[in-house]
A and B are shown apart, each in its own frame.
Chain A
Amino acid sequence: MAIVRMKRLRVIVPSKIQRKVLRDLTRLGCVEIENPVYTEMDEDMAQVIRPPSAITDAARARTDMVTALEALDKYAPSKRSFLTPRREINESVLFDEEAIEQAKEVSARIGGLVRQINETKSLVGRITAQKASLEPWTASDIPLEYTGGKEYAVIFGVVPIDEKPVDLSAILAESDLPAIADVIHSDNEQSYVVLVSYKDAQEDALTILKAEGFSQTLFKDMYGTAADNINRLDQETKTAEEKLQQLEAEIVTLAPHRDLLEQTIDALNVESLRETAMSSMLHTEKTTYFEGWTPEAAESAVAQVLEKNGCAYEFSEPAEIEEPPVVLKNAKLIQPFSTITEMYGLPAYRSLIDSNPIVAVSYFIFFGIMLSDALCGLVVSAVTFIILKKKKPAGMMKQFLTLFFFCGLSSLVWGALFGSWFGNAPSIVAMMLGKELVVPPVWFDPLAEPMKILVLSVVLGVVHLMLGMGCSAARQIKQGNIKEAIFDTGFWYMILIGGLGLFTGAKIFAVIALLGAVGVLLTAGREKKNIFSKLTSGLGALYGVTGYVSDILSYTRLMALGLCTGVIAMVMNTLGSLAGNSFIGWILFLIVFAVGHTFNVAVSTLGAFVHSMRLEFVEFFGKFYESGGRPFKPLFNQTKYTEVIKEEI
């Protein structure tokens, strides 16, 4: 059975030991805790307290630590290679209180340093802006704080320039006021002006200038000339930059704590998951109650833990109205392919059909035909194999890599069948060496006999479609509707087999197809009351034959993508061999070969991955699949940086 059977779990624990029980269940990793359904009106529930769900301490500490780690990665990048596996760590070390406290200190220190760095950076920004605003005034040697002497006043200001600068001195001269306006500097937008006037003439001079758009510039807290101030600001920038370097260097000295931070992020992650679970529990003064799900197979292990801790618990079958979470469990070879199903959406818990074996086999075959090159396949398998062995990934990543590993092997086989080894690379290499070599295909060469691969694609497609329809029929039979299965699937089988059989020329197939069509015509409207609407429904259903035609034609992508890989490879080989058998020729060949085939492997693998998936999702699942399952999310030691080793307690 592919969908794991679930049991409803109800537990009451003494509040004192709730954390310990939760820890033990996390180690087991097979209990999902869920919000219990209850009505507030229920009298027995009146004294129950549900804690408010809030961001937990652990989650907050974890966020801080992630920020600290990011800072560390920025200023002191890790030297680990992509292939470094996750560090193995014992449970007791991971959850060691002291280590967690120490990590919190480190992250607080890094956080402080990052804050200082940001402050310093914004200071530098401010200084730069200030400098820019002083730049135009450098030509004036009047101290900026100077406002004039006893008799006369000095005012700094700017006048906007419309098209061309206004001659301020001329305007002032016209007015006969004892004042002069000295334009120190002009840029595209405004003129920088110093207005010097007798004190009693200042008001009038200002009024005249304001009519031209003059506005006063104040230099707050600045003493000495603009040039002096710029020098001072330069000095300040230098100091700030030195400080920045110092701060960054200090962060770098904390780099040795990276491992500690990473493991603590993991520990806090698990802790915050537990705290979230705790927030969906109900509490009284002395006890805690929670509900959840556990796979049937894990029932005894869970019971043992609960028994040992002295909890009251019960397991029960899921009620009709409940929708248990779904987890897929398959044979080891098939398991990686269940990720394909999961990507579409998990099946509903009570769906009766397990299509994973069919998905696994068909995906394996389709991917192989679409990539259809022995060496491409070998590269894919080798790369995934190395990553799997060296990096030892877990979870989804592992499933995916295993999936690609298998699919690479499939292309290796299909490539050999079609005689494609990076296209015609062996022949090209031999040709450059002045020899002749043809690697004969084990079966046939799709480029030479495209009709053959077209027929192969269509036949595989029909088989795949019929398996999909078979799944639908199997479900109806399981529900006891054998007649429905014959009406809805059996007749269509006859139409499909008959229709395709026509290509062989035998008359009998026409009869089969016709009988099937009559069957559909008569039975598709069986739910309708009067004979007229029965027949119209029948006709409508028969029109569905166009759907089958388009489904079948969709499988020609097997041929299209398969041919593509081969042709790109051939183009690359041809390009590479252009310079012939010489030193330069071989260099060119190697470069084109390496770059070209890397490109080909990448593009063709992506195509094969997506299009095989499409065939499963649209053509195959479209015939029967019931999605809508909710993934099973048990509490477990969910870690990113470390591989937790269980210890016996």
Chain B
Amino acid sequence: MDWLNSIFSGPFLALFGAALAAGFAGAGSAKGVGIAGEAAAGVVTEDPGKFGQTLLLQALPGTQGIYGLLVAFLIMNGIGLFGGGEMTLTISQGFQYFAAALPIAVGGYFSGIAQGRASAASMGILAKRPEEFAKGMLYPAMVETYAVLALLVSVLMLINIR
């Protein structure tokens, strides 16, 4: 049962958490940026001059991936992965790191997609009423609040793990 022991080891659980945080939040952003990109391509076919602005809108759902990366990085840093030394972590600590990764993994995945859809819809504002572009940037930013809150919980948990 060697493999079972290695699964229920502190470092593995913590790294598994880091993997989920970066992976799922990244996947959410990828989906979101993709959705926004599809709409952006449509706008640019009509008016190539709007390329720069569509790019801004498309970039907005990209932050969840960065939040996931941030949490993953904090976990890896926290368990001393970069130090090169032995990672000494109890199973309980491992689970704590794992739990801390969950908010941004789940929140990042779903908010990334939702934000991408809001961005895609805002492309319509850019196409038809370019002078109201700033308002179009705000709708996706509203969605991001919940990714920020998820990140907040993840970070607060991480820094308080003893």
Contacts and interface: CB of A to CB of B under 8 A. Distances in A.
B73 A343 contact: no
Contacts of A607: 63
Interface residues of B, number: 27
A343 B138 CA distance: 11
A603 B62 contact: yes
B82 A574 contact: yes
Contacts of A343: 134-135
A27 B34 CA distance: 49
Contacts of B56: 606
B117 to A, nearest CB: 17
Interface string B144-155: 110011011001
Given A450-B155, A613-B137, A606 B73 contact: no
Given A557-B148, A603-B66, A614-B141, 10 more contacts: A343-B135, A554-B148, A564-B63, A567-B70, A603-B63, A607-B63, A610-B141, A613-B137, A614-B142, A617-B138
A564 B134 CA distance: 23
A288 interface: no
19 contacts: A344-B134, A450-B156, A556-B149, A556-B152, A560-B148, A560-B155, A564-B67, A567-B69, A568-B70, A603-B62, A603-B66, A606-B56, A610-B60, A610-B137, A613-B134, A614-B138, A614-B142, A617-B138, A618-B138
Interface residues of A, number: 27
Interface of B: 56, 59-60, 62-63, 66-67, 69-70, 73-74, 82, 134-135, 137-138, 141-142, 144-145, 148-149, 151-152, 155-156, 159
A554 B156 CA distance: 15
A103 interface: no
A343 B132 CA distance: 7
A365 interface: no
Contact of B59 (A450, A560, A606, A617): A606
A610 B56 CA distance: 10
Interface string A337-358: 0000001100000000000000
Nearest to A447: B74
B151 A560 contact: yes
Nearest to B82: A574
Interface in A555-611: 556-557, 559-560, 563-564, 567-568, 570-571, 574, 603, 606-607, 610-611
Given A556-B152, A574-B82, A618-B142, A568 B69 contact: yes
A451 interface: yes
Contacts of A618: 138, 142
B123 to A, nearest CB: 15
A553 interface: yes
Contacts of A556: 148-149, 152
B144 A611 contact: yes
Nearest to A563: B70
Given A556-B149, A610-B60, A450 B159 contact: yes
Interface in A535-561: 553-554, 556-557, 559-560
Given A450-B159, A451-B159, A559 B152 contact: yes
Contacts of A568: 66, 69-70
Contacts of A559: 152, 155
A609 B10 CA distance: 40
B139 to A, nearest CB: 10
A163 B82 CA distance: 66
Contact of B73 (A567, A613, A614, A617): A567
Given A613-B134, A618-B142, A571 B149 contact: no
Q: Which of B60, B69, B73, B134 has the most C-beta atoms of chain A within 10 angstroms of its own C-beta?
A: B134
Contacts of A617: 138
A158 to B, nearest CB: 37
A73 to B, nearest CB: 12
A567 to B, nearest CB: 5
Contact of B138 (A557, A574, A613): A613
Contacts of A454: 152, 156
A567 B56 CA distance: 21
A563 B155 contact: yes
B33 to A, nearest CB: 12
A553 B147 CA distance: 12
A571 B69 CA distance: 9
A114 B67 CA distance: 52
A554 B135 CA distance: 18
Q: Which of B69, B74, B144 has the most C-beta atoms of chain A within 10 angstroms of its own C-beta?
A: B144
B141 A564 contact: no
A573 to B, nearest CB: 12
A558 to B, nearest CB: 10
B69 A554 contact: no
A603 B59 contact: yes
B83 to A, nearest CB: 12
Nearest to B140: A610
B47 to A, nearest CB: 13
Contacts of B138: 610, 613-614, 617-618
A405 to B, nearest CB: 19
Contacts of B145: 554, 557
Contacts of A451: 159
Contacts of B62: 603
A535 B63 CA distance: 44
Contacts of B59: 603, 606
A449 to B, nearest CB: 9
Contacts of B74: 567
A114 B70 CA distance: 55
Nearest to B70: A567
Contacts of A560: 67, 148, 151-152, 155
B75 to A, nearest CB: 12
A559 B144 CA distance: 14
